[in-house]
Amino acid sequence: MVGGVPEGMEQFVDRDRELGELTDCYESETADFVVTYGRRRLGKSELVRQSIADRDDAVYYQAVESTAPNQLEQFVDTATAVFPSLGNVRRDWEVLLKTLGEEDAVVVIDEFPFLIEEDESLPSRIQRVWDMELQETGITLLLVGSSISVMEDKVLSGSAPLYGRRTGTIDLTPLSVADAREFFPEYDPETAIIAWAIYGGTPYYLQTIDPDQQLGTNVQQTILSERGLLYSEPEFLLRTELRQPNTYFSILRALAHGRRTPNEIAGAVGIDPGPLSKYLQTLRRLRLIDREVPVTASAKQSKRSRYHVADEFLRFWFRFVEPNRSSIQEAPDVVYDGTIEPNLPDHVATTFEDVCQEAVWEAIRGDQLESYSEVGRWWYGEDEIDIVGLAPDADRILFAECKWTSEPVGPALVSQLREKAERVRWGPDTRDEDFALFSKSGFVDGVADDVDENWSLYGLSELRALL
């Protein structure tokens, strides 16, 4: 066991790219300063634990909420277990890091924001010892944090003392649907997509799934039960990040129920659009919501913004759990059977578009589709297309629709997509056009014969092969 790393690591999926980046830093002969951050529950701690699991030169210290002297003493205890000579070194961050630099150690400080809360001078002191001593060693210093605002303001921003020192940054994101699939390998493709629409790509949430149980049973046990690990998870998440979360709760609730534009959100929440922008900006910074504009528009200039909840589990929770808490406490099975299950197809349909967008990228990487540099949604007035891909250098455009319906897709959708494509103003009149259809229930007989080679058709089996 590496010094300070607890036994019994959690299930670990993917992250091969991030593990490779960290290993390269550990093996290099030069000094490396890496910052790893991201939303809570994404597996940052597990990532760094895995990366140093087989090393005998690594110090892993997980900071806690305590006084600065206690934190320093705990760090010394952890580091001394790996490098006993540190027991004779003065209790001072700069001296300790200098000594570890002389050992070419790997030093991981997890939950770094807890240290800053107690000692605001610490980033400046690390900057000083880095500039004066550590740059000429083989040390790897890895700072890890879940508080995005603290990590960006105190470590990454241009005004932070440590700005310009880091040699690498890992901004950890949720798992893809393909990687999340490893948490429920026995589920068929349809059930797997529904599970993704409920639990999303956060490893901590996915680990609560018992793959031997039916999905509905898992939902009732982990989300709808007061004893379930995820029953109050969004409340914990928001109260950890925000001092006054009530307005943010209302915004997330509005988004989960389909309010997408600033005016729609403001009306549902009961605040003016002006003040709303501050709240939306905070939620975006915390990676809890995303802003979207039509893929053919400029993200900076377009006024046709739409917002959506970035995490599938939060979207599910605010749509189905939060407004039904009283009923769930009395009869969770009734809520699931009578409210959640009948409305799941509508809920999953939005997620299915994101799954298909991921499939488009995989098809591009696998040369099944032509190359496109931008892929996203498009809308204008009453028209909307689920996926549009742009290849400006080749004057080529892709149009795709995604249908999560119980009936196979017929020729009507082909005609509708062709008509809407004609109204998309992008590129020259001579642009090349490709089309794709994604369908949960496949296609009626004859559809494949009625389209030309510029069309691609994907049912669940083709999606499974791609992802």
Rounded to the nearest 5 degrees, what angle is found at the Cα of 454, between the Cα atoms of 352 and 424?
70
Residue 68 tokens, joined: 């600065």
The whole-number pLDDT of residue 10 equals: 54
The 10s digit of each residue's pLDDT in 34-93 is 999 999 999 999 999 999 999 999 999 999 999 999 999 999 999 999 999 998 899 999
Mean pLDDT of 136-164: 94
Going by C-alpha positions, the residue among 388, 358, 385 that lies closest to residue 372 is 388
pLDDT above 60 (res 148): yes
Hey, what domains does the chain have and what are their CATH numbers? Answer: 16-171 (3.40.50.300), 177-347 (1.10.10.10), 351-466 (3.40.1350.10)
pLDDT above 50 (res 3): no
Task: Report the distance separating Cα 354 and Cα 351, nearest Å.
Answer: 5
Question: What three-state secondary structure class fits 157?
Answer: coil
The whole-number pLDDT of residue 467 equals: 84
The 10s digit of each residue's pLDDT in 159-216 is 999 999 999 999 999 998 889 999 999 999 999 999 999 999 999 999 999 999 999 9
Mean pLDDT of 381-402: 97
The whole-number pLDDT of residue 4 equals: 39
- Provide the whole-model pTM: 0.89
The 10s digit of each residue's pLDDT in 412-450 is 999 999 999 999 999 999 999 999 999 999 999 999 998
Mean pLDDT of 143-157: 92
Q: How confident is the model at residue 241 (pLDDT cuts 50, 70, 90)?
A: confident
The 10s digit of each residue's pLDDT in 110-128 is 999 999 999 999 999 999 9
Q: How confident is the model at residue 11 (pLDDT cuts 50, 70, 90)?
A: low
- Burial state string for 67-82 with b = 16 or more CB within 10 A and e = fewer than 16: eeeebbebbbebbbeb
How do 32-37 and 168-171 pair as beta strands? parallel
CA 273 to chain centre: 27
